[in-house]
């Protein structure tokens, strides 16, 4: 087994050590922003590179990264990063403990704090070890380490422990086991009264107070000429307990100059809604998805990433555009001396040809004063506002509609080549490095079959891989758990059904009988219609990159979905033959009229009752 759709987890930075991440890392402008001497909140869907960038801030990664930039960064980086991981597994374990201890709300909360604190302390010790190993080996001494460890034992209320950081880390892990043991005992007891639970002192430690004293101790015992700050890098905060999210939101206003906070989370982090910290004053935002303001940056980064991939595959000294070609909807004949949209140009040809069979296009051109048999104009404004505007729609209708005997109908294409070329591939990846790496790797593998070396990747191969990628993405979206809403009659709607409704709504308007001069391609989440259950689903969709916020304002700290404009991920656009562009907007309620006729009755179901499957 193992096909062209190989295990995508191999590209997941979450499962890689920092030194492994560093071996493949291609920096971008967002990474450099992250290295600044400020608090940063990094927002992005899954696969957008948040964890990669966070891990690259660590000492281990920077010391492994074989690049001049790393050497420079190591000397100028104003902080030392403490990477604090979390993941779904950890999240579910904490939730499990909380559910089992529902009868003990105070203890439950204290337990959550204790477990998270231990995770943070574990990360801190690891960082201290790395700092000594990579940065401070010249001033390290056994006595100094012993002195530090004795202080840590005291601050963290650890039992007598060998005064080595390795042993401290093991002691923290042993403390974790003890904590779970206490929790298990209470879980199993049916008669314990909360007031009678006698907890060890270490349950009441404050994680930040511990970090402060411990880092001060470290800096005192290992003095450095250029004293660096400590950057606490909390990754995947959408999976952390709510109390931690809220606490970190307040910490963004922290005045302790020794510490920076780098937080990564989903595109719409609710916990930042009510923070008193001020965007641009107290913290900066980095949004890791392409929109109008940063699209060019993503193009540059994608080009560099693909360039590196091509090199790795032995395709040397070739630009991505040379190997993948240009996309038909961008520039049809760059090398030609022909001016676009002038008579005889490729654009002119395509529009003229389409107007021959598409009578609605003919009527449109005529109404705009452009002859359908010679679709050109000297008026630059008209050229831009009409011809340039209709071109993508014309290309798509040409590709996907057929005409016979005066009748126009849809045409299916197994491998539509309209979605090919470097621009289309980058657009389809929507700034997702993981997806881009996989697609390019698969294309090269497929194109190399039966050949020793390749110089270009044929359009049909690109189309095939992109289609497979879209199919796999749909399968994943369809299988996502916990994204269901249900009405009183028991009818359920999955997130995918919502997305499909939106896609089909746009599709119907692109391929309607009348040529759409102002096609719609984006939707606004109308605040007076969208129920909370749907908003929650859309939040999940944004987290998985299935919908993209098209016009975020990086100067505004607004983290709610309602009232915002979105498009479908371009990888999904292929399914409904949509153009890779924004187009006009429509209310979400219009798109979902048939799927959710009466919105009030649809709610997120409570704890699932057992399925028949479980009873079999």
User: Which residues between 393 and 412 bind other proteins (CB under 8 A)?
Assistant: none
Q: Is 374 in the site for other proteins (CB under 8 A)?
A: no
User: Which residues between 138 and 157 bind other proteins (CB under 8 A)?
Assistant: none
Residue from 53, 94, 101, 443 that binds other proteins (CB under 8 A)? Answer: 94
Residue from 35, 52, 119, 539 that binds other proteins (CB under 8 A)? Answer: 119
Q: Is 7 in the site for other proteins (CB under 8 A)?
A: yes
Least spacing, CB of residue 150 vs other proteins, in Å:
11
> Of 132 and 351, which CB lies nearer to other proteins in the complex structure?
132
Least spacing, CB of residue 335 vs other proteins, in Å:
40
Least spacing, CB of residue 44 vs other proteins, in Å:
15
Q: Are 570 and 428 in contact (CB under 8 A)?
A: yes
314: left (phi over 0), alpha (psi -120 to 50) or beta: left
Helix (H) or strand (E) holding 468: helix 459-479
Task: Please classify residue 517 by burial: count the beta carbons closer than 10 Å to its beta carbon, then call 0-12 exposed, 13-18 middle and 19+ buried.
Answer: middle
User: Which residues between 572 and 611 bind other proteins (CB under 8 A)?
Assistant: 605, 607-611
Q: Is 137 in the site for other proteins (CB under 8 A)?
A: no
Task: Please classify residue 96 by burial: count the beta carbons closer than 10 Å to its beta carbon, then call 0-12 exposed, 13-18 middle and 19+ buried.
Answer: exposed
Q: Is 556 in the site for other proteins (CB under 8 A)?
A: no
**Selection from 514, 506, 367, 482 nearest residue 95 by Cα:** 482
Strand partners, 286: 42
Least spacing, CB of residue 129 vs other proteins, in Å:
12
Q: Is 220 in the site for other proteins (CB under 8 A)?
A: no
Query: Could you give phi then psi for residue 144, rounded to 5 degrees?
Result: -65, -45
> Of 138 and 616, which CB lies nearer to other proteins in the complex structure?
616
Residue from 162, 296, 300, 556 that binds other proteins (CB under 8 A)? Answer: 162
**Selection from 179, 140, 184, 141 nearest residue 158 by Cα:** 179
Residue from 35, 117, 126, 245 that binds other proteins (CB under 8 A)? Answer: 126
Segment near other proteins (CB under 8 A); pick from 12-20, 436-444, 500-508, 509-517: 12-20
User: Which residues between 186 and 205 bind other proteins (CB under 8 A)?
Assistant: 188
Strand partners, 264: 42
Residue 489 tokens, joined: 């009659």
Residue 307 tokens, joined: 């360039």
Please report, for the chain, how many H helices and E strands are present, in that order: 25, 13
Least spacing, CB of residue 613 vs other proteins, in Å:
6
Residue 205's alpha-carbon distances to 93, 118, 178, in angstroms, are 21, 10, 15
Residue 112 tokens, joined: 């959550």
> Of 422 and 499, which CB lies nearer to other proteins in the complex structure?
499
Helix (H) or strand (E) holding 586: strand 584-587
Segment near other proteins (CB under 8 A); pick from 10-18, 69-77, 268-276, 531-539: 10-18
Q: Are 616 and 499 in contact (CB under 8 A)?
A: no
> Of 96 and 243, which CB lies nearer to other proteins in the complex structure?
96
Residue 407 tokens, joined: 């009748």
The H-assigned helical ranges of 252-386 are: 295-312, 320-324, 346-357, 359-367, 380-382
Least spacing, CB of residue 585 vs other proteins, in Å:
29
Distance, in Å, from the CA atom of 472 to the CA atom of 113, rounded to the nearest integer, reads 39
Give me the helix-helix angle, 88-100 and 105-134, nearest 10°: 150
Residue from 32, 96, 204, 243 that binds other proteins (CB under 8 A)? Answer: 96
Residue from 71, 296, 339, 475 that binds other proteins (CB under 8 A)? Answer: 475
**Selection from 370, 415, 367, 364 nearest residue 393 by Cα:** 364
Least spacing, CB of residue 215 vs other proteins, in Å:
20
> Of 364 and 499, which CB lies nearer to other proteins in the complex structure?
499
> Of 160 and 406, which CB lies nearer to other proteins in the complex structure?
160
Residue from 23, 37, 93, 154 that binds other proteins (CB under 8 A)? Answer: 93
Strands 492-494 and 484-486: antiparallel
Q: Is 88 in the site for other proteins (CB under 8 A)?
A: yes
User: Which residues between 404 and 463 bind other proteins (CB under 8 A)?
Assistant: none
Residue from 26, 108, 122, 262 that binds other proteins (CB under 8 A)? Answer: 122
Residue from 141, 173, 281, 551 that binds other proteins (CB under 8 A)? Answer: 173
> Of 89 and 600, which CB lies nearer to other proteins in the complex structure?
89
Tell me, by CB under 8 A, how many residues bind other proteins: 72
Least spacing, CB of residue 481 vs other proteins, in Å:
4
Distance, in Å, from the CA atom of 469 to the CA atom of 439, rounded to the nearest integer, reads 7
The H-assigned helical ranges of 332-455 are: 346-357, 359-367, 380-382, 389-400, 422-429, 433-447
Q: Is 166 in the site for other proteins (CB under 8 A)?
A: yes
Least spacing, CB of residue 274 vs other proteins, in Å:
28
Residue listed under structure tokens 């051109």: 365
Helix (H) or strand (E) holding 496: helix 495-510
Residue from 68, 75, 76, 89 that binds other proteins (CB under 8 A)? Answer: 89
User: Which residues between 483 and 512 bind other proteins (CB under 8 A)?
Assistant: 483-484, 486, 490, 492, 494
Least spacing, CB of residue 476 vs other proteins, in Å:
5
Q: Is 161 in the site for other proteins (CB under 8 A)?
A: yes
Distance, in Å, from the CA atom of 184 to the CA atom of 240, rounded to the nearest integer, reads 21
Residue from 1, 378, 449, 598 that binds other proteins (CB under 8 A)? Answer: 1
């Amino acid at each position: 087994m193992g096909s062209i759709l190989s295990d995508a987890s191999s590209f997941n930075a979450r499962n890689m050590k920092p030194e492994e991440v560093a071996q493949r890392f291609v920096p971008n402008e967002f990474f450099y922003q992250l290295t600044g001497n400020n608090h940063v909140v990094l927002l992005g869907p899954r696969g957008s590179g948040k964890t990669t960038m966070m891990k690259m801030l660590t000492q281990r990664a920077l010391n492994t990264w074989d690049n001049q930039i790393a050497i420079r960064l190591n000397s100028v980086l104003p902080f030392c990063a403490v990477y604090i991981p979390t993941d779904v597994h950890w999240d579910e374990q904490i939730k499990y403990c909380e559910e089992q201890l529902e009868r003990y709300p105070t203890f439950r909360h204290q337990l959550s704090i204790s477990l998270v604190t231990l995770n943070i302390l574990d990360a801190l010790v690891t960082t201290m070890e790395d700092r000594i190993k990579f940065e401070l080996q010249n001033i390290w001494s056994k006595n100094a380490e012993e002195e530090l460890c004795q202080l840590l034992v005291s601050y963290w209320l650890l039992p007598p422990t060998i005064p080595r950081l390795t042993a401290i880390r093991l002691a923290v892990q042993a403390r974790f086991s003890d904590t779970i043991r206490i929790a298990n005992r209470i879980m199993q007891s049916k008669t314990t009264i909360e007031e009678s639970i006698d907890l060890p002192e270490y349950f009441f430690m404050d994680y930040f107070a511990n970090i402060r004293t411990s880092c001060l101790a470290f800096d005192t015992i290992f003095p450095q000429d250029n004293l660096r700050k400590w950057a606490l890098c909390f990754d995947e905060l959408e999976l952390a307990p709510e109390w931690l999210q809220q606490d970190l939101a307040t910490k963004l206003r922290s005045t302790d100059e020794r510490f920076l906070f780098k937080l990564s989370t989903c595109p719409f982090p609710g916990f930042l809604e009510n923070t008193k910290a001020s965007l641009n004053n107290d913290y900066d935002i980095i949004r890791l998805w392409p929109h109008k303001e940063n699209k060019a940056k993503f193009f540059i980064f994608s080009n560099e990433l693909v360039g590196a991939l091509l090199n790795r595959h032995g395709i040397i000294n070739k630009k991505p555009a040379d190997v993948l070609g240009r996309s038909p909807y961008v520039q049809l004949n760059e090398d030609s001396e022909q001016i676009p949209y002038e008579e005889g140009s490729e654009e002119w040809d395509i529009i003229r040809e389409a107007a021959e069979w598409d009578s609605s296009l003919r009527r449109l051109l005529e109404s705009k004063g452009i002859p359908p048999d010679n679709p050109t104009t000297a008026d630059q404004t008209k050229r831009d506002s009409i011809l340039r505007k209709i071109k993508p729609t014309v290309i798509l209708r040409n590709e996907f509609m057929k005409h016979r005997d005066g009748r126009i109908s849809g045409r299916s294409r197994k491998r539509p080549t309209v979605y090919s070329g470097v621009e289309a591939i980058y657009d389809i990846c929507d700034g997702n490095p993981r997806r881009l790496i996989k697609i390019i790797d698969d294309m090269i593998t497929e194109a190399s079959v039966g050949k020793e070396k390749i110089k270009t990747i044929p359009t049909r191969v690109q189309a095939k891989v992109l289609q497979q990628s879209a199919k796999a993405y749909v399968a994943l979206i369809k299988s996502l758990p916990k994204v269901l809403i249900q009405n009183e009659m028991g009818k359920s709607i999955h997130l995918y059904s919502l997305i499909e409704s939106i896609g089909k709504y746009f599709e119907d308007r692109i391929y309607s009988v009348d040529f759409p001069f102002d096609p719609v391609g984006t939707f606004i989440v109308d605040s007076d219609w969208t129920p909370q259950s749907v908003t929650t689903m859309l939040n999940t969709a944004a987290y998985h990159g299935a919908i993209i916020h098209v016009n975020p304002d990086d100067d505004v700290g607004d983290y709610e979905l309602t009232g915002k404009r979105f498009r479908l991920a371009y990888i999904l656009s292929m399914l409904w033959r949509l153009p890779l562009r924004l187009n006009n907007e429509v209310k979400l309620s219009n798109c979902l009229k048939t799927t959710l006729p009466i919105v009030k009755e649809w709610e997120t179901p409570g704890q699932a009752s057992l399925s028949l499957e479980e009873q079999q």
